[in-house]
């Protein structure tokens, strides 16, 4: 019985091992896209197959000993990353969520001495396939006040990569970013909002990496029309927002501040109708006030009083007894209030 149990146990172990091997042999489903093979991962035979005078050979020579895990000027001066942004579109401000969305070209330029082009390369710059971006060291820039962001890859990854003769690297990528913007609605609807975009380093302190705005106009945009706000190129401001985190140190940060002024200049049909109604109502009140002032003026009251006194005298001459209440208010005294109806009635009497 013991031998029989051992035999069954061996069979179970064998079947489970075969099943595991079959499952391991099946390709796992994952994200689409081919894995990028950097020149440093190629064998000597693969490198020898590339023609000596080709651009591919120059790129291989630059990257065959390149280590993307190490920043340029390691243990030396910090890398200076010059940033500029082109704004394709500016989404409307959301008061409920206090954020806004922009579509931008984010461009960064830094120098990497390891990527200086050889003298036998005649051009001043080398345009590189965007997939090779994964083989290079790059600044770890992120948006500090970002809520949501995504790259664009239709029809290809929207990334542009240049390497210049002196070793400068220029990267441009298209992004859509939703950024937080705390709103002050105290003066609504005549308010002006200041919305920031902060670009910060995540892992490199200021000893290794420094962000700076490109000289000139680092943030450019065409004329942008928003349904409620007006934003202009000349109202853009720039600042430094370098931050200190206890335990880790200072981290480089630059910011751009957009001034958004709410537009209230356009007129709608309902506004015209409301204004007309208010004007007619106000004119009616003014007319009523003017008529009351004219009817109750002291001169008019004195004139009516004199006219009634003259009529009483004429009746006395004719021998008629004057009525007890010979005034418009029936009290025999000075009239307190004279209206059009009262004046006409008195004259008729």
Q: Is 71 exposed, middle or buried (0-12, 13-18, 19+ CB in 10 A)?
A: buried
Residue 161 CA to residue 200 CA, distance in Å, equals 21
Whether the bond into 313 is cis, omega within 30 of 0 = no
For CA atoms 38, 41, 46, 50, the dihedral sign is positive
Locate all alpha helices (DSSP H) within the chain, ordered by sequence. Answer: 2-25, 44-48, 55-63, 269-295, 298-317, 340-348
Residue 51 CA to residue 259 CA, distance in Å, equals 55
Q: What is the largest CA-CA distance in the chain?
A: 158
* pLDDT at 254 (0 to 100): 97
How confident is the prediction along the chain (349 residues), in pLDDT tens digits per residue? Answer: 544 554 555 555 454 544 444 444 444 444 445 678 888 888 888 888 888 778 888 888 889 999 999 999 999 999 999 999 999 998 878 889 999 999 999 999 999 999 999 888 888 999 998 888 899 999 999 999 999 999 998 888 899 999 999 999 999 999 999 999 999 988 888 889 999 999 999 999 999 999 999 998 899 998 888 888 888 888 999 999 999 999 999 999 999 999 999 886 666 788 888 899 999 999 999 998 888 888 777 877 787 888 888 887 878 877 765 555 544 444 444 444 445 445 444 444 5
* pLDDT at 33 (0 to 100): 52
Write the CA distances from 329 to 40, 152, 322, integer angstroms.
114, 88, 15
Q: Is 276 helix (H, G, I), strand (E, B) or coil?
A: helix
Q: CA nearest 241: which of 283, 210, 208, 278?
A: 210
Q: CA nearest 138: which of 68, 76, 40?
A: 68
Question: What number of CA atoms fall less than 13 Å from residue 15's CA on the CB side?
Answer: 6
Q: Is 85 helix (H, G, I), strand (E, B) or coil?
A: strand
Please enumerate in sequence order all residues whose Cβ is within 8 A of that of 42, keeping only pairs 6 or more positions apart, or say none.
60, 64
Q: Is 20 helix (H, G, I), strand (E, B) or coil?
A: helix
Q: Is 179 helix (H, G, I), strand (E, B) or coil?
A: strand
Please enumerate in sequence order all residues whose Cβ is within 8 A of that of 61, keeping only pairs 6 or more positions apart, or say none.
118
Phi and psi for 277 in degrees, rounded to 5? -65, -45
Q: Are strands 159-164 and 99-111 parallel, antiparallel or unpaired?
A: unpaired
Phi and psi for 302 in degrees, rounded to 5? -65, -40
* pLDDT at 265 (0 to 100): 61
Write the CA distances from 274 to 119, 277, 280, 285, 300, integer angstroms.
76, 5, 10, 17, 39
* pLDDT at 53 (0 to 100): 78
Q: CA nearest 142: which of 63, 207, 83, 221?
A: 83
Residue 104 CA to residue 83 CA, distance in Å, equals 13
Locate all alpha helices (DSSP H) within 112-157, ordered by sequence. Answer: none
């Amino acid at each position: 019985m013991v031998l029989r149990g051992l035999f069954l146990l061996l069979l179970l172990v064998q079947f489970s091992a075969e099943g595991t091997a079959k499952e391991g042999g099946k390709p796992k489903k994952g994200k689409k896209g081919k894995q990028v093979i950097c020149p440093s991962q190629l064998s000597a035979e693969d490198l020898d197959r590339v023609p000596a005078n080709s651009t591919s050979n120059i790129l291989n020579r630059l990257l065959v000993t390149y280590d993307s895990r190490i920043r340029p000027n390691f243990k030396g001066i910090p890398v200076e990353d010059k940033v500029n942004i082109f704004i394709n579109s500016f989404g409307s401000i959301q008061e409920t969520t206090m954020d806004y969305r922009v579509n931008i070209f984010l461009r960064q330029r830094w120098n990497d001495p390891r990527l200086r082009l050889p003298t036998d390369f005649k051009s001043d710059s080398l345009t590189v396939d965007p997939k090779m971006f994964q083989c290079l060291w790059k600044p770890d820039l992120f948006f500090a006040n970002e809520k949501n962001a995504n790259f664009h890859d239709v029809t290809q990854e929207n990334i542009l990569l240049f390497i210049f003769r002196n070793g400068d690297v220029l990267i441009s990528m298209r992004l859509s970013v939703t950024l937080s913007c705390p709103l002050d609605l105290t003066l609504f609807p005549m308010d002006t909002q200041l919305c920031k975009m902060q670009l910060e380093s995540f892992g490199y302190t200021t000893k290794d990496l420094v962000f700076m705005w490109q000289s000139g106009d680092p943030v450019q945009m065409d004329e942008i029309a928003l349904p409620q706000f007006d934003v202009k190129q000349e109202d853009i401001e720039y600042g430094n927002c370098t931050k200190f985190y206890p335990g880790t140190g200072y981290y480089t940060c630059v910011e751009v501040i957009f001034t958004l002024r709410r537009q209230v200049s356009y007129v709608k049909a309902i506004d015209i109708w409301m204004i007309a109604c208010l004007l007619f109502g106000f004119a009616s009140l003014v007319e009523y006030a003017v008529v009351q002032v004219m009817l109750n003026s002291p001169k008019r009251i004195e004139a009516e009083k004199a006219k009634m006194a003259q009529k009483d005298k004429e009746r006395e001459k004719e021998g008629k007894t004057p009525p007890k209440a010979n005034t418009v208010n029936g009290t025999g005294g000075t009239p307190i209030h004279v209206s059009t109806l009262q004046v006409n009635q008195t004259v008729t009497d």
